[in-house]
Amino acid sequence: MTDDLTELTAVQLLDGYRKGEFSPVEATRAALERAERIQPEVNAFVRLTADEALARARLSEERWRLGEPSGLVDGVPVTVKDILLQRGTPTLRGSRTISEQGRWDEDAPSVARLREHGAVFLGRTTTPEFGWKGVTDSPLTGITRNPHDPSRTAGGSSGGAAAAVALGAGPLALGTDGGGSVRIPAAFCGIFGLKPTYGRVPLYPPSAFGTLSHVGPMTRDAADAALLLDVIAAPDSRDWSALGPPPGSFALGLSGGVRGLRFAYSPSLGGQVAVRPAVAAAVRRAVERLASLGAYVEEADPDFAEPVDAFHTLWFSGAARVVQHLGPHQRELLDPGLREICGLGARLSALDYLAAVDVRMELGRRMGHFHESHDLLVTPTLPITAFEAGAEVPKGSAHRRWTGWTPFTYPFNLTQQPAATVPVGADGDGLPVGLQIVAARHRDDLVLRAAHALYEAGVTSAGS
């Protein structure tokens, strides 16, 4: 086992604690040192909470010494995106319009479950303002950069979380995903990210982006994500739309392999998406490996046209609701791109919104029918690799908004399906490529199982 504790997964850390090879305090100190070292270059953190982390690690160390760990992730370093409430620390959401003053005395459901299971909270990770876009920069914290090339974006909106995991500043991270915000940065940074079925992980306070918004694990591999999901998928009475308890342990369901599973491979959503050749080649190689592992694979495209207009209606109106309470002076403090889409959203009518809901329901019907004949859908996570930092779209793009280069991610927020990204190689510049795995609603277990099979087969790679 490596001497560098920051290179270990959560599963490996827990095994080491159990065997007495090292302690939660040692692992926490190593993760904090790594976080402090990477912060000047990649800017993954809003703040580090070293004193709290070490205090929780010492308590965990004593529990492990007595052979009485308090939960599934006792002593494991974790980061929390600065969108989710965490008791004792401000949640500023990347915005200069939120004051640090306040009681900050409540945990979001996922954070509360981690606290109950003994996790060690290292710090809060960066986000664009209110998580509004697919890259991570904000007026409050500046630009978050890619671990593989700091001149490139880490993606977003959970960019700080992805960079932290990729560079060893804690093996587990909580992200949020309203249109790809877990999967986009996970793909750009070369880690694993899962958007669970909507409601599988309770969310409170409710998001202004409504039922597009999911909370999900960001980790080094699928086994760690399954472990984290076992912790955070517990019901919480504050979220009236949350699902009931999961049918079983996600971690225990990893080992089934892919033999006999029916995969649809859609390289370009039926020709709707121009995919960069290096991305397409890496994804195709991984799909071929799935077939060699016994999966039934056929090229098949889901039956839908790009639903970007409906998504924009829901997203822009949600953004307008987020800032509705702000006065003119505070609005001047907002990210200019956010201010622009809020203006567009404020002009939409209730009928516009309901028309977008109709598009969403039809898309959900089509995907439900698609999964009657296919257990899983595989696509590229993104058609490109990471582009220059500080821009919402790549240089020379014909699109104005981030949705123009994320056509594989946001449709599955509309349908609420579980979707994960797995690193499957790199382009010629050493930038990671992600493969997306999608299942029918409530089949998070199948997504994790298929992803785990790729890890077990040695297919996964974060690039050089």
Give 341-369 pLDDT, tens digit per residue. 999 999 999 999 999 999 999 999 999 99
Q: Are 64 and 17 in contact (CB under 8 A)?
A: yes
> Does residue 463 sit within a domain?
no
The predicted pLDDT at position 366 comes to: 98
> Does residue 146 sit within a domain?
yes
* Sheet strands (E) in 207-332: 214-219, 262-265, 296-299
Does the pLDDT value for residue 463 go beyond 50? Answer: no
Total domain count, the chain: 1
Q: Which two tokens stand for residue 22?
A: 């090292």
Does the pLDDT value for residue 101 go beyond 60? Answer: yes
229-267 pLDDT, tens digit per residue, is 999 999 999 999 999 999 999 999 999 999 999 999 999
> Does residue 319 sit within a domain?
yes
Options 60, 81, 158, 213, the catalytic residue: 81
The predicted pLDDT at position 176 comes to: 98
Share of the chain above pLDDT 90, in %: 97
For residue 70, what are the domain limits? 5-456
Across residues 167-184, what is the average pLDDT? 98
384-411 pLDDT, tens digit per residue, is 999 999 999 999 999 999 999 999 999 9
Does the pLDDT value for residue 464 go beyond 50? Answer: no
Q: Dump the DSSP string for 436-451.
A: EEEESTT-HHHHHHHH
> Does residue 190 sit within a domain?
yes
C-alpha dist (Å) from residue 214 to 143, 180, 181, 449 = 24, 10, 9, 20
Least reliable range by pLDDT among 19-33, 130-144, 254-268, 448-462: 448-462
Does the pLDDT value for residue 20 go beyond 60? Answer: yes
CA–CA dist 256, 449 (Å, integer): 7
The predicted pLDDT at position 35 comes to: 98
Catalytic-residue membership of 157: yes
> If you average pLDDT over every residue of the chain, what do you get?
97
Q: Which two tokens stand for residue 462?
A: 């974060």
> Does residue 461 sit within a domain?
no
Residue 271: give its domain's CATH number. 3.90.1300.10
CA–CA dist 19, 12 (Å, integer): 11
Amino acid 434 reads: G
- SS3 of residue 120 by DSSP: strand
Options 60, 110, 138, 181, the catalytic residue: 181
> Does residue 447 sit within a domain?
yes
Options 157, 158, 266, 317, the catalytic residue: 157
> Does residue 122 sit within a domain?
yes
Least reliable range by pLDDT among 219-228, 245-254, 351-360, 452-461: 452-461
Across residues 167-181, what is the average pLDDT? 98
- SS3 of residue 47 by DSSP: strand
- Radius of gyration of the CA atoms of the chain, in A: 20
Q: Which two tokens stand for residue 403?
A: 């949705």
Across residues 8-33, what is the average pLDDT? 98
Does the pLDDT value for residue 3 go beyond 90? Answer: no
> Does residue 464 sit within a domain?
no
Confidence tier at 102 by pLDDT (50, 70, 90): confident
Confidence tier at 460 by pLDDT (50, 70, 90): confident
CA atoms within 13 A on the CB side of 107: 13
Catalytic-residue membership of 237: no
* Sheet strands (E) in 94-171: 120-125, 137-138, 142-143, 145-146, 149-153
CA–CA dist 406, 185 (Å, integer): 11
The predicted pLDDT at position 2 comes to: 58
Does the pLDDT value for residue 1 go beyond 80? Answer: no
- Residue 328 neighbours by CB under 8 Å, 6+ apart: none
